[in-house]
Amino acid sequence: MKKFLTIIVLFLIRQTAARPDVLYEQNLAYGKAFCQGAYVGFKTLLSLMGYYESEEVKEGMASGELIIDEEEDVDDQTQIQVVGLGLGRTGTTSLVMALEMLGYFAVHDDEETELTDIFYAAEEGTIDSDEFHEILGLRGYNASFKTEYEWVQSHEEVKAILTVRDTPEKYVESWSIAAVFIDIVEQIPFRWMASVEALHESFFSEYKEETTGGNPDDFLNPEVLKRTYLEYIEEVQAAIPSERLLTFNVKQGWAPICEFLEVQQSDCPTVPFPHVHTRAKLEGEMFFLRMITFIWPLAIILPFYCLMKCGKLVIEMLPLPHKNKW
């Protein structure tokens, strides 16, 4: 928060300067990305409130029955072909955008809150892993970033991409900002939301168990995060044959992705590889969501206050009763 306010002050001061400098440009870029992140936080809030859920998903969650809701057009029905196995904050969002540019339809964080019914059914054991992925395919998805490497290991037709950071320290630094998301959604008003309740077990596993080797109390411990990150990479590389696994850093660009997915060179994009969800945007998103945990009572107080003020105004406008002369 202090950093954001400092940027605003610097912005106002620099308006009187003759020309900008590098630091000013950097701070301005950070402020812009922070605001974009806050907007992402607003969209995340809507997602957690179930705003983007389809009517079929809402109906299924209300009835407790899983509705397959497969694509009406048979040509749109598919199966999972590519799986992203990177831990959070290793470039998975950028990779999702890249795959979509290549024609894939991927399940990632945003889609999780749109497919609450499937994730809830999987967590409850109503469907197994194979059924989970089959339903994703029937709904039109052919790439998943919500899949464990054990499933890929037993499906030879599936390719996997393991995203990594430059160093374990870079990963820990970045993940530590994102990890507070689980603390936020466990607070009021988020924990009152039906989607959060249904997905809490999935959130808990992703944010507190997968990144700590099953030690949720250490989900912000840098040494534990670093060790788990390195061990996870080794496990994945040992479990999946190299011909079906690409260990990938987004800084490598399009070439390794296109070669691995057998995309012809003429069809490989020439635009820069996507670079999204930067640290500044993430900080803006977490700031917005954290702010909701403080200001949510206003959603109750303000309407009640306005009602009282309107009631008082109406009473003042009513004619006074005439006094009895007798």
Quick: pLDDT tens for 284-326: 999 999 999 999 888 778 777 788 878 778 777 777 565 555 5
Average pLDDT of 29-54? 89
Q: What pLDDT shows up at residue 310?
A: 85
**CB-CB contact of 261 with 211 (8 Å):** no
What six digits make up the tokens of 98? 């890249």
Chain centroid to CA 270: how far?
27
Residues contacting 209, CB < 8 A, separation 6+: 215, 216
- Report percent pLDDT > 70 for the chain: 90
3-state helix, strand, coil in the chain (%, to 5): 60, 5, 35
Report the number of secondary-structure helices (H) and strands (E) in the chain: 15, 5
CA-CA distance, 313 to 119, in Å (whole number)? 50
Query: Model confidence over 102-118: pLDDT tens digits?
Result: 999 999 987 777 888 89
CA-CA distance, 105 to 115, in Å (whole number)? 14
Q: What pLDDT shows up at residue 156?
A: 95
Q: In the structure, what pLDDT confidence band is assigned to residue 82 with cuts at 50, 70 and 90? A: very high
Which position has the token pair 């249904």?
198
Closest CA to 213 of 202, 234, 229, 201: 229
280 vs 81, more confident? 81
Which position has the token pair 């996870």?
232
What six digits make up the tokens of 295? 């200001």
Q: Is 4 exposed, middle or buried (0-12, 13-18, 19+ CB in 10 A)?
A: middle
The pTM for the full model equals 0.82
Q: What pLDDT shows up at residue 193?
A: 93
Question: Is the Cα dihedral 84, 90, 93, 98 positive or negative?
Answer: negative
Closest CA to 92 of 270, 282, 237: 282
Residues contacting 252, CB < 8 A, separation 6+: none
- DSSP secondary structure code for residue 50 in this structure: T
**CB-CB contact of 178 with 219 (8 Å):** no
Q: What phi and psi, each to the nearest 5 degrees, are found at residue 220?
A: -120, 10
**CB-CB contact of 199 with 119 (8 Å):** yes
Query: Model confidence over 180-208: pLDDT tens digits?
Result: 999 999 999 999 999 999 899 999 999 99
